[in-house]
A and B are shown apart, each in its own frame.
Chain A
Amino acid sequence: MQVKELLKNLSESAGVAGFEHGLHSSLRAAWEPLVHEMSTDVLGNFVAKRRGVGEEPRPSVMLAAHMDEVGMMVTKIDERGYIRFTQVGGIDPRILPGMEVTVHGRRQLAGIIGTKPPHLLSAGEEDKAPKMEELFIDVGLAQERLVDVVEIGDVITFQRDVTELANDFLAGKSFDDRAGVAVIHSCLQWLEKLCITADVYAVATVQEEIGLKGATVSTYGLEPDIGIAIDVCHGDGPGQPEDLVSELGKGPVITMGPNIAPRVYELLEQAAKDAGIEVQVDVAPAQTGTDAWAMQISRHGVPTGLVSVPLRYMHTSVETLHLDDVEKAGKLLAFFIAAVNRGFVEGLVWS
């Protein structure tokens, strides 16, 4: 399967944090030809294993990209049939009025988030964004019919198909972090063409958006020698702080800082040269906000790295990326894994 096709397929599927099981079948179909084993764990992490060549014990590399997306959850159905909701993960309420959504009840319902027309705003309201608790979803059903379909705790996703912009730019929901899952897919395709001694665990993790939970338990279970998180980072654009963003279409981003084992970073740099890929560099002074943060402190510690795809408009329904960055990140990871051998893993001291 093409990387773009999988990314589009995943982006248009629903998988709010805690409710990612709907994505398993797409992953199983896409990765079945590329790996030797597939399984899911208690929390719903999707784990695929590709065995390396040579005798055991082989070094192991865990790739983690989270498949959960930010979304919403029903908190109340009022007497007129409007649905009140809360967020699951970080959602900016300013982007919600006018949004089309899908309510995942007993069956899927199309809904919209309505708002007061500008004509009816009172003084002082015009320059204020409504708070989430003031917003509501209208699905067109009266309360007595609605309660047969929807109950407290049902999840709600943005309704948004992928838009192909000019020049291989794509816009859609949940590229954070299904772009990372697509990177792993690209990597697995490249691994077919290379001689790999390491075992690779390709993990689509769950519940990253609500506290790196999937990575916490899956890293404990897999106990890898090296952990690499693949996530998105902030892309450039008007009004963005220049020192905190990376350019779209200029290659994947590799991160350094306390969350990153220096030797892993160096090998990623070397792998980029070997693969002929330009990379951008990011410095994270503390918490990277990614699965790498949880992986690093699993059991007695895991040397970690972080590879990111620049993304504009994060946590909106029009997250935008450049397809090249996704594909190059996959190639970079494959060349990194090709360079991992027993000697490298044994020399992984922090310095």
Chain B
Amino acid sequence: MKDLVKKLVESYGPAGDEGPVRQMIEEEIKELADEVRVDALGNLIARKKGNGKGKKVMLAAHMDEIGIIVTSIDDKGFLRFAPVGGWSPPTLLGKRVIFANGTSGVIHTEHLDDIKELKVTKLFIDIGASDKATASENVGIGDMAVFYGPLFDMGERWVAKAMDDRIGCVVLIETLRQLGACDHDVYFVFTVQEEVGLRGARTAAYGVDPEIGIACDVTRVGDTPKSHIMEVSLGGGAAIKVKDSSLICHPALRKHLVEIAKENKIPYQLEVLERGGTDAAAMQLSRAGIIAGVISVPCRYIHSPSEMVDAGDVKACVDLLVQSLKGSMVLQ
């Protein structure tokens, strides 16, 4: 599983340009699924057929990551850019980025009298070009870049860019691998454009029209020094979401997931996330409404180049999904 994580987190796939990640995932799953298709927005939809006795379930993990998009190139070859997804400017300072074609760059700032003046508009990317013409040979307006950096393997804990939400993609792929025969008609959906407004999940949910939707995404933790108040901790197990700022999970589905975790002795924790949203919110409001919930992978330093997850938590999320799908999914 670690090799798959490494491969996916190190690949390029900002919101709206997920192609390389999609191809990689498609390679992994095409032998495991009964049908694989790509919709108009680029969502990768893999179906594992049920036996007609179960429910229609959609699982969603987003392929896209946060990135930047080039807005202008000045005479000296410096690039100005806008964020794609949610960035905080201090996180960008001094970071290395890489474009789809392999061009690398570093982010730095104009001179500031006070660090509080740091805004995205003060930042630029230096790709080592001596002038506009040279820069334009490698990068054009509208090109996107993502953080650059290899996976740090710390043993039980892994650090990389784009854990949000390639680790969710890994959970779905592993679930598909381990699931075997099950009653339910399960759609494994690798969504696009989550970071810019849950947009892929919306069209995918409309197209699939499931009865139950479960997203797998990362969540914040409250276990770092002087952190905000939050009960979720890294290594504490799969987080079963109650609420985030985008949705309240269906209480019966949430309770069902808790029961499955208890029965199978899978470590879990309940999650109330005060800031952040997931694909489940888009699924919930599809058509006349869908039962929606979330299984989260606890993650430190979200939206930085160093997002940290715990291997045990990832395994717990896979176990929880597999055991849920093996059961009846009858909600009380």
A residues contacting B by CB (< 8 A) are 17-19, 41-43, 45, 73-76, 84, 86, 88, 133, 151-153, 207, 210, 213, 216-218, 220-221
Contact = CB atoms under 8 A, between A and B. Distances in A.
Contacts of B251: 18-19
Contact of B272 (A43, A152, A213): A152
Contact of A42 (B243, B269, B288): B288
B291 A75 contact: no
A153 B242 CA distance: 6
A60 to B, nearest CB: 15
B289 A88 contact: no
B278 interface: no
| Size bin of chain B's contact surface | 20 to 34
Most A Cβ at <10 Å: residue of B228, B231, B269, B271: B231
B231 to A, nearest CB: 5
B82 interface: no
B272 A218 contact: no
B270 A151 contact: yes
A41 B228 CA distance: 36
Contacts of B229: 75-76, 84, 133
B271 A152 contact: yes
A152 B231 contact: yes
B242 A42 contact: no
Contacts of A153: 242-243, 254, 270-272
Contacts of A88: 243, 248
B288 A76 contact: no
Given A86-B272, A86-B274, A152-B272, A218 B288 contact: yes
Given A75-B229, A218-B288, A221-B288, A210 B248 contact: yes
Contacts of A42: 250, 288-291
A217 B271 CA distance: 25
Given A84-B229, A133-B229, A220 B288 contact: yes
B230 interface: yes
A179 B270 CA distance: 34
Contacts of A221: 287-289
Most A Cβ at <10 Å: residue of B230, B270, B289: B289
Given A73-B272, A153-B243, 17 more contacts: A18-B251, A19-B251, A42-B250, A42-B288, A43-B250, A73-B242, A74-B272, A75-B231, A76-B229, A76-B231, A84-B229, A86-B272, A133-B229, A210-B247, A213-B247, A218-B288, A221-B289
19 contacts: A18-B248, A19-B248, A41-B288, A42-B289, A43-B289, A76-B231, A86-B272, A152-B242, A152-B269, A152-B271, A153-B242, A153-B272, A213-B285, A217-B287, A217-B288, A217-B289, A220-B287, A221-B287, A221-B288
